[in-house]
Amino acid sequence: MSKDLSKFLSLILRHEPAKFGVVLDSGGWTPIDVLIERIRASGFRDLDRAMLDAVVENNNKKRFTVSGDGLRIRAAQGHSVEVDLGLTPNQPPAVLYHGTAVTNLESIKNKGLLPGNRQHVHLSSDRDTAVSVGTRYGKPIVLSVAAGSMFEDGIQFFQAENGVWLTDSVASKYMDVDQMEKPD
């Protein structure tokens, strides 16, 4: 149930809040008591605050954040709806990674990394996470991103509360295919 609930929370808090009668403020926050009420009405009838807290705490990707006062919740990143997470620009490590499917490589070489229906391109600081992300979309490939060079060229980076690095796009000149994951 927790995996299903986690996916459902992502759908509501990142992509389709209005479909479920949830209103996000400009920072992506919504009251937890209202969210629980809406989730119960959508089929998770046994949901209570303890179950929600367990999903937030045990989510291996730390996708959700509870406000300091414990009354509100939001997705840490990954929104396709417009929100301002209030993140300040931050200097990234010299190299970050992006995992995707091999089938996307040609398009990425031509157009660079684009956010698609999300607000930002997502990058990780470790290769293993990128491999895991890429596996979700098919045979994985990992792109090494020269984030330090991008930053020196004036491109902004932000780090979400869960450690994911965010930027508007990545031009192909800043990317290399990780040698260990080249397509056949």
DSSP one-letter string for 126-170: SHHHHHHHHHTTSSEEEEEE-HHHHHHTT---EE-TTS-EEES-B
Flag whether 81 is in a domain: no
Q: Please tell me whether residues 68 and 119 are part of one structural domain.
A: no
pLDDT at residue 2, rounded to an integer: 76
Q: What is the CATH number of the domain that holds 54?
A: 1.10.10.970
Report the C-alpha gap between 184 and 178 in whole angstroms: 13
Q: Last residue of some domain: 75, 105, 124?
A: 75
Q: Please tell me whether residues 112 and 174 are part of one structural domain.
A: yes
Flag whether 155 is in a domain: yes
Q: Please tell me whether residues 175 and 102 are part of one structural domain.
A: yes
Flag whether 103 is in a domain: yes
Q: What is the pLDDT of residues 34-79, one digit of tens each?
A: 999 999 999 888 999 999 999 999 988 899 999 999 999 999 999 9
Q: Last residue of some domain: 46, 75, 104?
A: 75
Q: Please tell me whether residues 124 and 49 are part of one structural domain.
A: no
pLDDT at residue 1, rounded to an integer: 53
Q: Please tell me whether residues 32 and 71 are part of one structural domain.
A: yes
Q: Please tell me whether residues 52 and 105 are part of one structural domain.
A: no
Flag whether 67 is in a domain: yes
Report the C-alpha gap between 145 and 118 in whole angstroms: 19
Q: What is the CATH number of the domain that holds 116?
A: 3.20.170.30
Number of domains in the chain: 2
Encoded tokens for 173: 């000149």
Write out the residue range of the structural domain in which residue 27 sits.
2-75
Helix, strand, or coil here: 124? strand
Ranges of residues in the chain with a pLDDT under 70 are 1, 179-184
Q: Last residue of some domain: 75, 104, 130?
A: 75
Flag whether 32 is in a domain: yes
CA distances to 1, 38, 77 from 122, rounded to whole Å, are 27, 29, 9
Flag whether 147 is in a domain: yes
Flag whether 46 is in a domain: yes
Q: Please tell me whether residues 50 and 110 are part of one structural domain.
A: no
Flag whether 87 is in a domain: no
